[in-house]
Amino acid sequence: MNRRRLAVLAAGLLLVASISAAQLPQLRGGSRGGGRGGAIRWAQPDDFDGAFVFCRLAFETHPWGNGGNWSVDYPRADINLPFRLSELTTTSVSRDGRGDFTHVVVTADSPLIYRCPFVMMTEPGRSDFGPSEVANLRDYLLKGGFLWVDDFWGTSAWQNFADQMTAILPPNQYPIADLSPDHSLFHALYNVRRVPQIPSINFWAGTGGATSEDGWDSAEPHARAISDDHNRIMVLITHNTDFGDAFEREGDNHQYFLTFAPEGYAFGINALVYAMSH
């Protein structure tokens, strides 16, 4: 797993300290190559060619709880973040036969998840993993896999996620811990000085610019992690914030783009660089 990560991370990364809107010309129409909806692009063996491939985790949900489902932000975030990775670094990013950035969907019990150096999971507030998914996801993570969990808000969603992770990575051995500002993930490429609270574009527009989607219960954004025995992050957790919308919806509103895209992409690119180099 680590060798595959290093293979897709180019040797020379752009040596820059911060990211600005001037570095990110806004994507027209919100994405390169498509919008919401359409057929799900399930992973196939031929999708993995040695370059970076964006993998998204699909999962079952409870009928109760707080949150959406796995497909929130799909597929535009899955297209836009790799596009920015190709723009802002010299990482080799996979493209399909039409020239579009390769993004795929995997399940936790799929053997193809082992081909993913990075997996994105959104809206885990109602996630419900079965026994085979628990066992395979644990094995993937302990063998060097990287999972970024994003876009869930408040106490109820957090508790469901923590309960699910307890079965996958027992907290007595693999506790969830807040990342300190000096952690290397915050400085993998860009110097990220805080965890921004990024709301969904609809919440932000509908409330006149508010950012806490669950009011007092989600007032503080967090970046947390579960690390392995060598202190390498296996699971990156961004709670009370929605980085996925900064990627997905950057082309839908220019002010939203200016407000949230620079910090969102700085953190997102750092997460990808960290995932592929640790």
Q: What phi and psi values does residue 46 have, to the nearest 5 degrees?
A: -70, -10
Helix axes 76-88, 254-277, angle to 10 degrees: 70
Question: Would you state the structure tokens that stand for residue 270, as one six-digit string?
Answer: 């750092």
CB 146 within 8 A of CB 234: yes
Tens digits of residue pLDDT in 122-139: 999 999 999 999 999 999
Tell me what the mean pLDDT of segment 105-133 comes to.
Answer: 97
β-bridge mates for residue 238, sequence order: 150, 223
DSSP symbol at 180: P
Tell me what the mean pLDDT of segment 101-125 comes to.
Answer: 97
Give the residue from 106, 121, 149, 146 showing the smallest Cα distance to 8.
Answer: 146
pLDDT bracket for residue 38 (50, 70, 90): low
So what's the pLDDT on residue 250? 86
161, containing H or E segment: helix 154-168
Count Cα neighbours of 66 within 13 Å in the Cβ-side half-sphere: 17
DSSP symbol at 169: S
CB 212 within 8 A of CB 219: yes
Tens digits of residue pLDDT in 43-78: 999 999 999 999 999 999 988 888 889 999 999 999
Quote the Cα angle for 141-107-122, to 5°: 80
pLDDT bracket for residue 259 (50, 70, 90): very high
Q: What phi and psi values does residue 52 have, to the nearest 5 degrees?
A: -70, 130
Please identify which residue in the block is written with the tokens 């900064």. 246
SS3 54: strand
What is the value of pTM for the model shown? 0.89
β-bridge mates for residue 53, sequence order: none
- Using CA atoms in the order 70, 68, 212, 190, what is the torsion angle rounded to 10 degrees? 0
Question: Would you state the structure tokens that stand for residue 57, as one six-digit string?
Answer: 């985790």
CB 217 within 8 A of CB 129: no
106-to-58, 77, 79 alpha-carbon distances in Å: 6, 16, 16
Give the residue from 67, 87, 77, 68 showing the smallest Cα distance to 22.
Answer: 87
Q: Cα–Cα distance between 191 and 29 in angstroms, integer?
A: 29
Instruction: Note the CATH architecture for domain 2-9+23-277.
Output: 3-Layer(aba) Sandwich (3.40)
Question: Is it true that the peptide bond before 75 is cis, omega within 30 degrees of 0?
Answer: yes
Tell me what the mean pLDDT of segment 181-198 comes to.
Answer: 97
